[in-house]
Amino acid sequence: MVCAVVSARISPNFIERIHSVRLIPRVAKALDFNVVADFIGEACVCLPGTIVAESGDLYNLEIWRVKSILGRDFKYPETIAERTAIEMAHHVSVAGRKLITDAREDNNDE
């Protein structure tokens, strides 16, 4: 699986500036909340600000629980810019996963 993180400065309606984009791959035998939380925590190390993610990504837990587990300020998207940033990260993760899996499949053909 792949986690994409977009570090950006945003206003309510627009992404004003992209500071960085990270793509972190990981192999996991099972997918549960602990794996996802560790993955998000690892991907966001040394990035300032609030983590914004879709509620389904974190098993629809209450915000206060996610904050306490991640140890960071957290919220679900509320503005157009936050939703756009999440959509951007989603596209990056899908493209990155395709590159990684296509590379593995090419190497297995040899």
Q: Token match 């974190």: residue?
A: 58
Quote the mean pLDDT of the chain: 91
**Confidence band (pLDDT; 50, 70, 90) for 46?**
very high
% pLDDT > 90, the chain: 83
Report in angstroms the alpha-carbon separations of 70 from 18, 36, 47, 77, 86.
23, 10, 13, 17, 18
pTM for this predicted structure: 0.84
CA-CA-CA-CA dihedral for 7, 83, 79, 60, to nearest 10: -100
- Cα 9-12-16 angle, rounded to 5 deg: 30
pLDDT exceeds 80 at position 107: no
pLDDT exceeds 70 at position 50: yes
Both tokens of 23, joined, read 């793509």
**Confidence band (pLDDT; 50, 70, 90) for 90?**
very high
